[in-house]
Amino acid sequence: MNPVILEPEAAATIERVWSELQADLLGISTNSSRVIANGSGHDIQRDATDVVIGAISDMLERVERAASQ
């Protein structure tokens, strides 16, 4: 399968729209966050293990705080 090569302007537009849609997902919950693992691919758990562990730890702390209130 050959990779799709986009013109820089088209690639920038797709990236902008994707980012906006990802930001919209934050509105689904009042207890959400967006974490960007720069340089990782689809195997984020392998490419950026520290980012994944940090995000899970942060969420667990928020849940624990909310449960104790």
Local confidence pLDDT in tens for the 69 residues of the chain? 778 889 999 999 999 999 999 999 999 988 888 999 999 988 999 999 999 999 999 999 998 998 998
> Where does residue 41 rank: exposed (0-12), middle (13-18), buried (19+ CB within 10 A)?
exposed
Quick one: pLDDT at residue 30? Answer: 84
Residue type, 15: E
The pLDDT value recorded for residue 67 is 92
Residue 64 has what pLDDT?
93
pLDDT at site 53:
97
- pTM of the predicted structure, to 2 decimals: 0.69
Task: Give the structural domain span for 20.
Answer: 8-30+38-68
In a domain, 3, yes or no: no
Q: Confirm whether 57 is domain-assigned.
A: yes
Residue 2 pLDDT: 78
- Please give the tally of structural domains in the chain: 1
Asked if residue 2 is part of any domain, the answer here is: no
Contact criterion met (CB below 8 Å) for 33 and 60 = no
